[in-house]
Chain A
């Protein structure tokens, strides 16, 4: 029943062996964000965070194939240290390029002092699939292929 299930929502889980407070801080502190966000050749260079509901964040990312791009959005729900919801959209480098927004929900569940991180990403639109948004994806795929 693969087509009946919602194909437009992505979920990724992972247990990290540190308490939730630390993980929550890592998601919401610029100095932390630039240490981990991105994969392969795509890396966060700098980040701005206005951590309040309705507040904006912006992350500048760089990839070897696409140069610099920004991802930004607005915090919708903030419940430290367990729950974070924010919109997510790439800003194209060309002025006036179409911006589309998706929604990311992060849940942090306490597992005996460790933290299960659950990311749900949804609301994908077709505007997002244009080539200029292929930012860093190849780098991600390359990395995983090497591991395989």
Chain B
């Protein structure tokens, strides 16, 4: 659910705003050219994905970033980075040390 929630650029911008400070829904919504219900819809997706917490103070809703799921998503991508970096190390090692003496151009695929 994290990846689906993060796939939308508007939602990523919302999280970016919240990464600096807690915010009221109205303050968070302000820079976005969309209706409050539309903002609320995005917030619900983020909430459902566990990416933000909502606290009610009087009549106001305060939003706060919940960093754990995002960290998990980044960690997952980091795993892939290691996989490809490791593979490219092996690929370089394999190709650079196994070059035929003549030319490599006539390699059939």
Contacts and interface: CB of A to CB of B under 8 A. Distances in A.
Given A8-B77, A124-B3, A126-B4, A18 B99 contact: yes
16 contacts: A4-B13, A7-B73, A12-B84, A16-B95, A18-B95, A21-B107, A23-B91, A36-B87, A36-B95, A38-B86, A39-B86, A124-B3, A124-B80, A125-B3, A129-B76, A144-B85
B7 interface: yes
Given A7-B77, A8-B6, A51 B109 contact: yes
Interface of A: 1-4, 6-8, 10, 12, 14, 16-19, 21-26, 28-29, 32, 35-40, 42, 51, 80, 117, 119, 121, 124-126, 128-129, 134, 136-137, 140-141, 143-144
B72 interface: yes
Contacts, number: 136
Contacts of A143: 82, 86
Interface of B: 1-4, 6-7, 9, 12-13, 15-16, 19, 70, 72-74, 76-77, 79-96, 99, 104-105, 107-109
B62 to A, nearest CB: 19
Contact of B92 (A16, A21, A119, A141): A16
Contacts of B76: 124, 128-129
B91 to A, nearest CB: 4
A21 B16 contact: no
A28 B107 CA distance: 12
Nearest to B88: A14
Given A16-B91, A17-B96, A4 B12 contact: yes
B1 A126 contact: yes
A26 B72 contact: no
A12 B107 CA distance: 25
Contacts of B1: 126
Contacts of B77: 7-8, 10, 124
Nearest to B86: A39
A8 B86 contact: no
